[in-house]
Structure 1
Amino acid sequence: MSFSAVTKSELARVVGQRSCCRLAELAALVKMDGSIQLSGGRQLSLNIITENAAVARKIFSLVKNLFGLQTEVLVQRKNRLKKNNVYLVRFPPQQGMSEILQRLGMLDGTGRLKEIPPSAMLRRDCCRRSYLRGVFLGGGSVNSPEGTYHLEIVTGSEKFAEVVTRLMNRFSLDARTSRRKNCSVIYLKESEHIISFLNIIGAHSALLNFENARIYKGMRNRVNRLVNCETANLNKTVNAAVRQIENIELIRDTLGLDNMPDSLKETAEVRLKYPDACLKELGSLMQPPVGKSCVNHRLRRIEELAEKIRGGKL
């Protein structure tokens, strides 16, 4: 099961404490996945389609709790692509359907469709959180934290996407919107913002799993960087030592080590004897011991002498 599916299964079990919160969440689900059908005799019905069984159960429960209605739940199997089940929750035509749709923010007082939710529905902070939970359940997804950090909500209405973006940014989430074909996509890229959003909508277990994976991923990346750095430093040290030994052997075979100053001769002999030692270790083997910078200075002088030999100047 994907991280998104696990997160939605958790959110489907979250129940708002107030009836206004439950109404806000159901309104968001209806806005994201619902469609109004006008049948004969101008009777209204409402269909809500979801691919998540837990979300379908939640819609059924919210409708029964808020309006005392019995809804129809139909299960269909897709014949293409993933071939998974699709759940249709249907409000059959009945008395008072227009008032229910008005309470859900789908219709205004004149019976016209509304693109944005009524401001009264989102007056309280708890209702705003519930509405965002419903929006995510209806059209959201979040990548596994083991990969790239990405959370998005897809809607067909550009105006509604702007409302949801502003609503998310009231919680300092830095949500942004882009167009993808005929849809508007609200997205979060930063891991901190995704964690905050999961906390806002009540996905606390998913939040902990996300945080654990993020910490593990960060530690693994840090260890890899340290290993790469140590490897680079080691390669640099080995290459420098090989070059130094080549210089010393060239001087030995041409000019002779005895013809160098005593300090350079001692340094050359110690380097030949201890080819794997670092500069600090070489300095401690001198008599008397010298510092790392002194050893480095002597080796540079040896290299200059070898370059003169290679250039035929000696």
Structure 2
Amino acid sequence: MSFSVATKNELARVTGRQSCCRLAELAALIRMDGSIQISGGRLVSLNISTENAAVARKILSMIKGLFDIHTEVLVQRKTRLRKNNVYLVHIPPQPGVNMLLNRLGMIDRDGRLVNDIREDLLKKECCRRAYLRGVFLGGGSVNSPEGNYHLELITDNEKHAGYIGRLMQKLRLPAKLSERKNWHVVYLKGSEQIVRFLNIIGAHSALLNFENARIYKDMRNQVNRLVNCETANLNKTVNASVRQLENIKLVRDTMGFEHIPVSLREVAELRVKYPDASLKELGGFLQPRLSKSGINHRLRKIEEIADNIRRKKF
């Protein structure tokens, strides 16, 4: 089960305490996944489709609880691509359908379709949170935190996408909008933003799982960075030691240690004796002790002598 599906299954069990919140959530679900059909004689019916059985049950429960209207659930099976079940919540023509659509802000009192969201549906913050929950259930997805951080809400209505973006901005979520073929996408990229969104819509178990995975991922990345850094430093130290030994052997074999200053001879002999020691450790062997920079300075002097020898040879 994907992280998105697990999150939706959790949200399908979250019920708004007040009827206004349930009304806002249902309105969002219908705007995301619903279609209104008007047949002969101006008979109006409503279809809401989803691939998630838990979401279909929630839609059915909210409609019955808020409107007590006859509703059917049909199950269809896709024949292309992923052969998932599609659950169709169908409200056939009957008295009360127009009233339902009017209360949800889909049509006005004269039965004309309404594109704008009714502001009175989202006066309270709890209703705005519920609306975003419905939007996510209807067209949302969130990546597993083990991969790239990405949450998106997809709708085929550009105006609705803009409204969702503004609603998220009011809740201090810096949502961004983009287009993908014929779809309009509202998305969040930052892990902190996604955690806040999950908290707002009430997906608390998903939030905890997201945080646990994120902490583990961050710790693993930090350990990898430290290991890479240590490996790079070790390689650098080994390469420097090999180069220093080559310089020292060249000086010893060509001109001999007796022809270089005593201070340089002491460091050269220590490096030959302790090829794996750090500069700090080499400085500790001397009396008086010599700093790391002092050891490095003397090794540089030996390197200059070796370079002069090489130039004379060639």
Name the TM-score, length of structure 1 as normaliser: 0.98
Partner of 2:36: 36
Q: Does structure 1 conserve the Cα–Cα contact (< 8 Å) formed by 2:69 and 2:96?
A: no
Partner of 1:303: 303
Partner of 1:76: 76
CA deviation string 1:49-93 (max 9, x = no partner)? 000000000000000100012310000111111101000000011
- Paired residues for 1:205-220 under 5 Å: 205-220=205-220
Partner of 2:98: 98
Residues of 1 paired with 2:100 and 2:135: CA distance?
19
CA deviation string 1:233-285 (max 9, x = no partner)? 11110000000000000001100011111110010000001000000000111
CA deviation string 1:78-112 (max 9, x = no partner)? 11111010000000110121111011111122222
The amino acid of 2:239's aligned partner reads: N
Residues of 1 paired with 2:240 and 2:131: CA distance?
64
Q: Does structure 2 conserve the Cα–Cα contact (< 8 Å) formed by 1:115 and 1:157?
A: no
Q: Does structure 1 conserve the Cα–Cα contact (< 8 Å) formed by 2:19 and 2:66?
A: yes
Residues of 1 paired with 2:305 and 2:110: CA distance?
96
**Cα distance, 1:313 vs structure 2:** 8.2
Does residue 1:182 correspond to 2:173, yes or no?
Answer: no
Residues of 2 paired with 1:37 and 1:313: CA distance?
94
Does residue 1:239 correspond to 2:254, yes or no?
Answer: no
Partner of 1:153: 153
- Paired residues for 1:43-82 under 5 Å: 43-82=43-82
The amino acid of 2:42's aligned partner reads: R
Residue identity (%) = 68
**Cα distance, 1:117 vs structure 2:** 1.5
Q: Does structure 1 conserve the Cα–Cα contact (< 8 Å) formed by 2:72 and 2:91?
A: yes
The amino acid of 1:278's aligned partner reads: S
Q: Does structure 2 conserve the Cα–Cα contact (< 8 Å) formed by 1:173 and 1:197?
A: yes
Residues of 2 paired with 1:253 and 1:288: CA distance?
28
**Cα distance, 1:40 vs structure 2:** 2.6
**Cα distance, 1:293 vs structure 2:** 1.1
Q: Does structure 2 conserve the Cα–Cα contact (< 8 Å) formed by 1:23 and 1:66?
A: yes
Q: Gapped runs of 5+ residues in structure 2? A: none
Does residue 1:248 correspond to 2:220, yes or no?
Answer: no
Partner of 2:22: 22
Residues of 1 paired with 2:116 and 2:177: CA distance?
16
CA RMSD of aligned residues (A): 1.1
Partner of 1:203: 203
CA deviation string 1:124-164 (max 9, x = no partner)? 00000000000000000000000000000010111111111
**Cα distance, 1:290 vs structure 2:** 1.1
CA deviation string 1:11-40 (max 9, x = no partner)? 000000000000000010011000001123
**Cα distance, 1:114 vs structure 2:** 1.6
The amino acid of 1:168's aligned partner reads: M
Residues of 2 paired with 1:114 and 1:42: CA distance?
17
The amino acid of 1:274's aligned partner reads: Y
Residues of 2 paired with 1:179 and 1:110: CA distance?
34
Q: Does structure 2 conserve the Cα–Cα contact (< 8 Å) formed by 1:152 and 1:188?
A: yes
The amino acid of 2:101's aligned partner reads: L
The amino acid of 2:93's aligned partner reads: P
Residues of 1 paired with 2:61 and 2:111: CA distance?
26
Q: How many residues align?
A: 314
CA deviation string 1:164-222 (max 9, x = no partner)? 10001111110011111111100000110000000000000000000111111111111
Partner of 1:166: 166
Partner of 1:286: 286
SS in 1 for 2:46: strand
Residues of 2 paired with 1:39 and 1:65: CA distance?
27
Residues of 2 paired with 1:27 and 1:296: CA distance?
73
Q: Does structure 2 conserve the Cα–Cα contact (< 8 Å) formed by 1:44 and 1:97?
A: yes
Q: Gapped runs of 5+ residues in structure 1? A: none
SS in 2 for 1:298: helix
Residues of 2 paired with 1:292 and 1:95: CA distance?
90
